[in-house]
Each structure stands twice: as structure tokens, then as C-alpha cells.
């Protein structure tokens, strides 16, 4: 009887990362999360990993391409995988009414702006004022 208590399973310490939009149907920017897929094996040509959220299925990517570019499009799952966690995009803050009013004043033809720029700036200001 052996008293060896070593674990024969590989230790997972590396991941492939995916930027996942939990609200993918909510426009171009939604509720993003970073999902880490554990790397299970590396060979000279491939990096093998396990999907963290799709039934823990195995997959692989071209090692040379992902190491050269830092990311790769995985066609089977239609997802972009990254070597390092990607930045989460943020929606730009809506400009305030005083900011829009200043932009409108700066675009006025008397201050060096054009008629088209002033009309567009005024339309943005009026839309924001009505929605506020």
C-alpha cells in the first residue's frame, strides 16, 4: 500500500482570457466580464485549454499566432481569446448641459466656428435639454 499523497493532476496556473458581454444584445457596449479559460497543456504548435463556461469542453489555439499577436479569433466558438486579461470598455460619459452650451458657443460663427458646426452643436444641446 502506497502512502504517496502527491496529486497526479496538472496544476493549472495559466489562462486564456475572453471578454464576454453578458448583455450581448444590449448594443455595442454592455455588461462585460472577463472569463478565464484554464490552459491544460502547451506544445510547440498548440495551446490546449478548457472552456470555463461552456460545459468545460476542451479546445486549442495556434500557439505561434496567439503569442505573436497577444490574441486570436477562435473560429469554433466564434470568440476572441487573449493571453492577458483585456481591458473592459466603458461607455463614455454623457456631456452635461453646461458642457454642451459651451461647445455650442465655441462653434458659433462669430467665434470662428462654421454654420454647420454651430447647427450641429445646437441640435445636441437642444436634444440633451429636452431629455433632461
The whole-number pLDDT of residue 88 equals 84
What pLDDT score was predicted for residue 13?
74
DSSP letter assigned to residue 22: T
Domain ranges of the chain: 15-82, 97-131
As a whole number, mean pLDDT of residues 57-76 equals: 92
44 strand-pairing partners: none
C-alpha 21/C-alpha 34 separation (Å) is 9
- pLDDT value, residue 2: 43
Read out DSSP for 37-91?
EEEEEE-SSEEEEE-SSSTT-EEEEEHHHHHHHSEEEETTTTEEEESSPPPPP-P
The pLDDT tens digits for 82-98 are 999 998 877 777 889 99
Q: What is the mean pLDDT of residues 61-89?
A: 90
Arithmetic mean of pLDDT over the chain: 84
Cell of 130: 429636452
The residue-averaged pLDDT of 27-54 equals 84
**Can you read off the three cell numbers belonging to residue 84?**
492577458
Does residue 132 sit in helix, strand or coil?
coil
Report the predicted TM-score, pTM, of the whole model to 2 decimal places: 0.57
Rounded average pLDDT over 34-39: 91
Amino acid at each position: 500500500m502506497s502512502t504517496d499523497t502527491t496529486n497526479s493532476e496538472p496544476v493549472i496556473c495559466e489562462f486564456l482570457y475572453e471578454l464576454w458581454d453578458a448583455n450581448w444584445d444590449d448594443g455595442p457596449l454592455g455588461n462585460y466580464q472577463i472569463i478565464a479559460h484554464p490552459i491544460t497543456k502547451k506544445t510547440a504548435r498548440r495551446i490546449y485549454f478548457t472552456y470555463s463556461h461552456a460545459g468545460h469542453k476542451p479546445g486549442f489555439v495556434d500557439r505561434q499566432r496567439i503569442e505573436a499577436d497577444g490574441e486570436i479569433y477562435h473560429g469554433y466558438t466564434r470568440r476572441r481569446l487573449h493571453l492577458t486579461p483585456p481591458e473592459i470598455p466603458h461607455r463614455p460619459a454623457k456631456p452635461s448641459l453646461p458642457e454642451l452650451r459651451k461647445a455650442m458657443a465655441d462653434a458659433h460663427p462669430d467665434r470662428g466656428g462654421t454654420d454647420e458646426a454651430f447647427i450641429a452643436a445646437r441640435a445636441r444641446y437642444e436634444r440633451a435639454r429636452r431629455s433632461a
